[in-house]
């Protein structure tokens, strides 16, 4: 189902700047029993992205009412929110005096994940496509996603659930559709810095902010592939799949998925991610 | 006027991957008396971009016939061609078995440029927005254009026709909508390397390949802001505005626009750019 500026629709104006330039932002949210999980945090990130991209957008009340409407009667679904700078003009300049951001809401069926991905952990592809550096765009969930598209299309095997992406300087950054943590001795969780590239995920930030409750400490820093191979555990996280413990990255096998499962239960209990 | 997969249209499927991910390419072409200038070179770049992005697209004959149709009866117009990976699915994986690239053709009125930009040269803004590095995407004209949008929206002054963009390592790369050349002693034209970021423009390449006919030599290399300030001349070029001689960059004034005007006349005589 789609709501375009509040109206049911199946198509969008050919002049929308989201299509021409990727001049927009998005959020992907798990909806369980009509409730979008962590909605406040997603809307806060959306607004912060609007500020970074200099969109004149603050219609949060309207958006909230459209979200309620599209989530009604959903048992378990994925909600995608797109906000673009609006419709009009040729050229990079947003020069229509009446340029008004476009709101697009869509619900999708819950995705089918590989069997036993939670109990046995996932298999991960090491992507050759790299993330470029741009501090001006890093962190936010904008519509310029060609790097992820190219990376995700490197493999077809349905048993491989995620791909690990490095940046152009060989730093580990994230999955194609998720953030990641590695686990070091003394219950230390480490996640890559996303100030040059990558997305600052909602689940990632929740784990950073709340892991002390599980007696973990967290650190945000540069991580190399060697660090990953030296870690006892690794997991990916996003708002829909929740926690994805890693069984195998390329030929490297991780011995355990204990921390991932513990953190997963904690996040479910806080309604940050969906129960299976 | 718009042609979407050969049909007149004013809207596009909400699931098009161009909108969701910028998963597409474009070309911007000057049309003079029904003739798109340098069409072969534009189509060649489009196909080469499709190969880089791994699109299954080779409908050049269909595209050519649609171009003829949309350019009919145009005296002077801008033709924009967009090709996206197609419609369907949520997620970065292009996983519809029947995913078929979308063709969108649009004609726009010829833009209004500042008075006397040819005779007096243009004023240029030094952009603070930077170009990130990504060799995997550099050179091609893809739909991920947020960097250019942010840069172009740094200024409102209608007398400033172009902005100069640097990369994250302080190298000069291009304008927000054009390539650039500086002129050094001994009739040497230098244009920045675009292997880490930037677009490999059609007019830029034509100048590199043919400047010897005007007794210029050309060089493609890294250029710093100091190199630009030390140059006797500077000009921007693209397929619609043609050659834009630079009068002033921030507070720095260039003494002459002689080479730019000479090259401009040469390109007009070869039907590479439009006469004024």
Rounded to two decimals, what is the model's pTM? 0.96
Pairing of strands A188-192, A217-221: parallel
Give A97-162 as a DSSP string.
TT---EEEEEEEEPPPPPTTHHHH-EEEEE-SS-BPB-TTTTBS-BS--HHHHHHHTT---TTEEE
Q: What is the mean pLDDT of chain B?
A: 96
- The C-alpha of A106 sits at a distance from chain B's nearest C-alpha, in angstroms, of 9
On the question of pLDDT at B45 being above 90, the answer is yes
- B165 and A CB contact within 8 Å: no
Task: Kindly state the tokens that stand for B25.
Answer: 């390419």
Burial track A173-207 (b if 16+ CB lie within 10 A, e otherwise): bbbbbbbbbbbbeeeebbbbebebbbbbbbbbbbb
A187 is catalytic: no
Task: List chain A residues with pLDDT less than 50.
Answer: none
| CB contact set of B137 (below 8 Å; sequence gap of 6+) | A132, A146, A147, B52, B144
Task: Kindly state the tokens that stand for A137.
Answer: 């765009």
A174 is catalytic: yes
What confidence tens digit (pLDDT) does each residue in A6-24 have? 999 999 999 999 999 999 9
What confidence tens digit (pLDDT) does each residue in B131-152 have? 999 999 999 999 999 999 999 9
Task: Kindly state the tokens that stand for B149.
Answer: 């949008």
pLDDT of the residue at B276? 83
pLDDT of the residue at A109? 96
Please name each of the domains of chain A with its CATH number. Answer: 2-109 (3.30.470.10), 117-269 (3.20.10.10)
| CB contact set of B68 (below 8 Å; sequence gap of 6+) | none
- CB burial of residue B269 (10 Å; 0-12, 13-18, 19+): exposed
- B81 and A CB contact within 8 Å: no
Q: What angle do CA A223, A226, A231 make, to 5 degrees?
A: 80
d(CA B58, CA B76): 28
d(CA B183, CA B227): 10
Contact state of A19 with B148 under an 8 Å Cβ cutoff: no
d(CA B100, CA B85): 7
Per-residue pLDDT band at B58 (split at 50, 70, 90): confident
On the question of pLDDT at B97 being above 80, the answer is no
On the question of pLDDT at B114 being above 90, the answer is no
Portion of chain B with pLDDT greater than 70, in percent? 100
Nearest residue to B165 via CA among B211, B71, B242, B228: B228
- The C-alpha of B176 sits at a distance from chain A's nearest C-alpha, in angstroms, of 8
On the question of pLDDT at B246 being above 90, the answer is yes
| CB contact set of A21 (below 8 Å; sequence gap of 6+) | A92, B22, B143, B145, B146, B148, B149
The ipTM assigned to this model is 0.96
d(CA A19, CA B24): 9
Tell me what percent of chain A is helix, strand and coil, each rounded to the nearest 5. 25, 35, 40
- B134 and A CB contact within 8 Å: yes
Longest distance between any two alpha carbons in chain A, whole Å = 59
What confidence tens digit (pLDDT) does each residue in B190-226 have? 999 999 999 999 999 999 999 999 999 999 999 999 9
Contact state of A143 with B147 under an 8 Å Cβ cutoff: no
Of B11, B78, B134, the CB nearest to A147: B134
Of A66, A74, A141, A162, which is the active-site residue?
A: A141
- B145 and A CB contact within 8 Å: yes
Interface subset of B 14-73, CB within 8 angstroms of A: 14, 16-23, 26, 53-54
d(CA A83, CA A88): 15
Contact state of A23 with B149 under an 8 Å Cβ cutoff: yes
- A150 and B CB contact within 8 Å: yes
Q: Is A105 left (phi over 0), alpha (psi -120 to 50) or beta?
A: beta
**Range ranked top by mean pLDDT from A260-269, B86-95, B251-260:** A260-269
B262 is catalytic: no
Task: Kindly state the tokens that stand for A32.
Answer: 């369980």
Residue of B nearest to A97 (CA): B156
What confidence tens digit (pLDDT) does each residue in A255-264 have? 888 999 999 9
Neighboring chain B residues of A104 at a CB cutoff of 8 Å: 14
- B92 and A CB contact within 8 Å: yes
On the question of pLDDT at B172 being above 80, the answer is yes
- The C-alpha of B215 sits at a distance from chain A's nearest C-alpha, in angstroms, of 34
What are the beta bridge partners of residue A188? Answer: A184, A217
- The C-alpha of A253 sits at a distance from chain B's nearest C-alpha, in angstroms, of 25
Of A66, A162, A174, A233, which is the active-site residue?
A: A174
Check: CB of residue A122 under 8 Å from CB of residue A158.
no
Nearest residue to B152 via CA among B179, B135, B175: B175
């Amino acid at each position: 189902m789609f709501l375009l500026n509040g109206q049911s629709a199946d198509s969008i104006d050919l002049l929308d700047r989201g299509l021409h330039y990727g001049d927009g932002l998005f959020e992907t949210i798990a909806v369980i029993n009509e409730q979008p999980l962590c909605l406040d945090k997603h809307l806060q990130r959306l607004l912060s992205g609007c500020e970074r991209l200099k969109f004149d957008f603050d219609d949060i009340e309207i958006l909230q009412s459209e979200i309620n409407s599209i989530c009604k009667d959903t048992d378990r679904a994925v909600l995608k929110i797109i906000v673009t700078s609006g419709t009009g003009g040729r050229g990079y300049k947003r020069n229509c005096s009446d340029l008004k951001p476009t709101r697009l809401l869509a619900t999708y069926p819950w995705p089918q994940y590989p069997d036993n991905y939670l109990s046995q952990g996932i298999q991960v592809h090491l992507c050759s496509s790299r993330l470029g550096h741009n501090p001006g765009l890093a962190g936010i969930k904008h519509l310029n996603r060609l790097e992820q598209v190219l990376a995700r299309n490197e493999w077809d095997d349905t048993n491989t659930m995620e791909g690990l992406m490095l940046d152009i300087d060989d730093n580990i950054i994230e999955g194609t559709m998720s953030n990641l943590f590695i686990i070091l001795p003394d219950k230390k969780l480490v996640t890559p810095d996303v100030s040059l590239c990558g997305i600052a995920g909602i689940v990632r930030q929740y784990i950073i902010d709340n892991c002390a409750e599980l007696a973990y400490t967290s650190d945000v820093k540069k991580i190399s592939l060697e660090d990953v191979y030296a870690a006892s555990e690794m997991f990916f996280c996003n708002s829909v799949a929740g926690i994805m413990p890693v069984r195998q990255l390329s030929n490297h096998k991780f011995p355990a998925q204990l921390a991932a499962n513990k953190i997963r239960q904690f996040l479910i209990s806080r309604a940050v991610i969906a129960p299976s």
